[in-house]
Amino acid sequence: MSQRPTADCRTCVHFRSAPYETKFEGCYLEKNMVSKQKQACLDEQQLPGDHRQLNRRGDCADHAARAGKPSFWQRLWSVGA
């Protein structure tokens, strides 16, 4: 039996943390959210799902890893320096 690696919420695309990315910390995948808004101007009223409850066993089915941060040289060349 092969085990899946445990999913860490902080490395997921759907996870947003307070205070820099959002007002409330949690999972912002639409099906896991408690309250969601259609309009972008009402974005602050959204309530995320509790990431500790959703990923209690560490096997979140919706986990998607964030893209890696480009290296210093890649960022420098993308600016065109």
Q: Which of 58, 60, 50, 55 is nearest to 24 (CA)?
A: 50
Show the tokens assigned to 2. Answer: 């092969």
Q: Is residue 44 part of a domain?
A: yes
In terms of residue numbers, what domain contains 18? 9-79
Residue 2 lies in a domain: no
In a domain, residue 63? The reply is yes
Q: What are phi and psi of 58, to 5 degrees?
A: 80, 20
Domain membership of residue 73 (yes or no) is yes
Number of domains into which the chain is organized: 1
Q: CA 13 to CA 65: how far, in whole Å? A: 6
Alpha helix stretches (DSSP H) within 1-81: 51-54, 72-79
Say if 20 falls within a structural domain. yes
In a domain, 1, yes or no: no
| Phi, psi values for residue 68, rounded to 5° | -70, 150
Q: Is the pTM of this model over 0.85?
A: no
Segment 4-61, tens digit of pLDDT: 667 788 888 888 888 888 888 888 888 888 888 888 778 778 888 888 888 888 888 8
Report the pLDDT value the prediction gives residue 81, as an integer from 0 to 100.
56
